[in-house]
Amino acid sequence: MSEIVLARVDDRLIHGQVMTAWLQYTDGNHIVIVDDATAKDDFLKTVMKMSVPQGVKLDVLTVEDGSDFLQKDQGSDKILVLAKTPEVYLQLVEAGVPLKEVIVGGMGANSDRTKFYKNISATDGERETFKKIIDKGVNVTIQIVPSDKATDAAGLLK
């Protein structure tokens, strides 16, 4: 039976930290990117496929397709779910995807975001979305790499 071993918010999606630290830490063998824009961009999907180590499966899906996919058994796969924004995880949880935890790893600064925690930035709307995810019974933590101590986001949202 498949298992979601990591659900991570990272606006970079696949990059060195995910490929090395998180894949090894979780023993993951299947990356599922859930992002509408990326799923519709054939060039970007090709680049993502070239970034994944041999032996690791990759699916790049829209939120709707990702929700359906993640609710079905994927055999013995250990799945890492990656999304750019917390809104995607709220949509997945509301659609019935069983998530126990969402780890915030990379949300860079931009003109709409303010500092949330160390080098993590979030808009007021993203903060509200984290609260809604927590209200659905999902633990939200901040952890850049597995060797970092996880910080409970709930305490930062009060």
Are 4 and 81 within 8 A, CB to CB?
yes
pLDDT of residue 16 exceeding 90: no
Cα separation, 17 vs 67, in Å, equals 25
Using DSSP's 3-state secondary structure scheme, residue 8 falls into strand
Q: How confident is the model at residue 20 (pLDDT cuts 50, 70, 90)?
A: confident
Question: What mean pLDDT is predicted for residues 23-49?
Answer: 96
pLDDT of residue 90: 98
Q: How confident is the model at residue 18 (pLDDT cuts 50, 70, 90)?
A: confident
First to last CA, the chain: 37
Q: Which domains does the chain have, with CATH numbers?
A: 3-153 (3.40.35.10)
